[in-house]
Amino acid sequence: MRVFTYRRISRVTEATTSIERQGEHCKAECQKRGWKIVDDFADEGVSGATDPDNRPAMGRMLARLDEVDAIVFYKLDRLSRSTLAFAELMERCNAAGVALVSCTEALDLSNPMGQAMAEIIAVFAKLERGMIRERSMDARRKGLESNKFVGGRFPYGLTPERHPSGKGRVLVRDPEAAKVIRRMAAMVVSGHSATAVAKALNADEVPTSRQQGATAKRAGGHEPRETYWRGNAVRSILRNQVQLGYRVGSNGRPDIGSDGLPLVVWEPVLTWDEWEAVQQAMDTMSTTRTQRHDSHWLQGVTRCGGCDARLTLTVAHGRTGLKCSRPNELRHKPAAYIRTDELDPWVNEQMMTEFGHMRLLEHVWHPGSDNRQERLAVASSIKAMRADREAGLYRGTEDEAEYRERMSALLARRDVLDAMPETPPHWETRDTGRTIGEVWESSSLQARAALLANAGLVIRVEAAGRKRRLPVGERARIEPEDRAAAALADIADQEAL
């Protein structure tokens, strides 16, 4: 039996569990069992709470699991100090056919008793995962209720600062970024493409969204990276309704308050008229764009199950597939890959059998009619004129006549505005009268991909590992793009029962 031995110590003062002493125990155990040591790995000055892949020696060892049958270690806490982390490591080794053997404890996954203990550990780890998930979702939900920043990348145009309560952070409007957004909008409305806007920002060395975020978090050791503006970033920023002051949810639509209206959390960067003009300009530009000839219809809606990166088209050995798009130096191993000739029919079958009977809904945004700005201007003028009169700025018959004429016009205009019906901006969900299956069957491939995207769905693909021919249905699933939002929805459904 071929084995690796692993040793770890976080402090050189741990005399009872020194690197040398651990090595002696591991070597003696292997000699007693007649096992051959292929290689020995040791991490010195590394905490047991550190992720296995982030430990230099263990990372190298895990990359070579296909060379051995077991890993021998001195004590369980040398591998991990967390039940959850150990269970994940155990599952990883089990998938590779590698047993874990402790020299000093009754933990030997190479025999039936040890495997039974492993199953017990896995049950407790699953319980721990569920409890962590429940606490995380509850904290996220309460944070959103108090308008706290709950993590992740914040939209361009906002910046974090300490929450008024003193706990956590809150996003506030970034005045410098707001100027850049208004500049983008003005250029797009005047006919410039998003790419041209990006080039102009790069020429003027305007900090990008990523650099702005790093600057805001510099206190935590983050430094701005050398990045540059792209057309896609400009389009994404100008399409985001955060610029109207709304807090946008995971579904891409504004969060709705108890009154049924979008929550206005921040000061708007663009007025409604400006927003509509920008959207119309970008819609006009998008009609001239064509799809790349080397893309695949599912390329925009497939994600890596390991890192959630997009899958991109690749051709190898005459076969076309989709693979994790992360650069080689950042890609995890094994990386997600799936053949398109297997994925395409599976997606079509799933959409017809699992989703085909559902009614197809469409979400229509109504900008509404709002004369609020003009009403505020009229009210401000009336207040200013009354203040001027009380201050004695109107003198004599001629001034009084002018005052009455102007005040009469303002009051008349106010009455007209007050009588105008006002429709607040809102989303309307309408039934199209057709099922998803009917639309899917009659749609082109590009329209089918758009249907998935508009429904907020993605196809997540897990890595097959050693089992290259693992069926698509066992490692691919169609689910909401935002995992946190899906988890919150599950919690809400459970609480409603």
Q: In which order are the strands placed within the sheet that holds 311-316?
A: 311-316, 319-324, 337-339
**For residues 208 and 236, what is the distance between their CA atoms, to the nearest angstrom?**
13
366 pLDDT band, cuts 50/70/90, is low
198: which residues sit within 8 A by CB, 6+ positions away?
228, 229, 230, 231, 233, 234
pLDDT digits (tens, 9 = 90+) for 48-79: 767 788 888 988 998 898 899 899 988 777 77
Q: What is the average per-residue pLDDT within 9-33?
A: 77
Distance of CA 38 to the CA centre of its chain: 42
Number of residues written out for the chain: 497
Per-residue pLDDT at 215: 44
More reliable by pLDDT, 199 or 251: 199
Q: In which order are the strands placed within the sheet that holds 457-461?
A: 302-304, 457-461, 476-480
Alpha helices in 156-228 (DSSP H): 175-189, 194-203, 209-216
pLDDT digits (tens, 9 = 90+) for 407-463: 898 898 888 888 887 776 666 778 888 999 999 999 988 889 888 887 778 899 988
Per-residue pLDDT at 93: 86
Q: Which residue has the tokens 């559902």?
A: 358
Torsion of CA 459, 462, 467, 472, to 10 degrees: -10
Alpha helices in 165-291 (DSSP H): 175-189, 194-203, 209-216, 231-239, 272-286
**Among 19-23, 382-386, 490-494, whose mean pLDDT is lowest?**
490-494
In the chain, what is the greatest distance between 2 CA atoms, to the nearest angstrom? 116
Structure pTM?
0.40
178: which residues sit within 8 A by CB, 6+ positions away?
157, 269
**For residues 77 and 87, what is the distance between their CA atoms, to the nearest angstrom?**
13
Q: What is the average per-residue pLDDT within 233-254?
A: 82
Domain covering 158-286 in this structure, CATH number: 3.90.1750.20
Per-residue pLDDT at 492: 52
Task: Give the percent of the chain with pLDDT over 90.
Answer: 11
What backbone phi and psi angles, to 5 degrees, belong to 88? -65, -40
Range 2-130 classified under CATH 3.30.1490.20: no
CA–CA distance from 192 to each of 159, 188, 475 (Å)?
27, 5, 44
User: Mean pLDDT across the chain, nearest whole number?
Assistant: 78
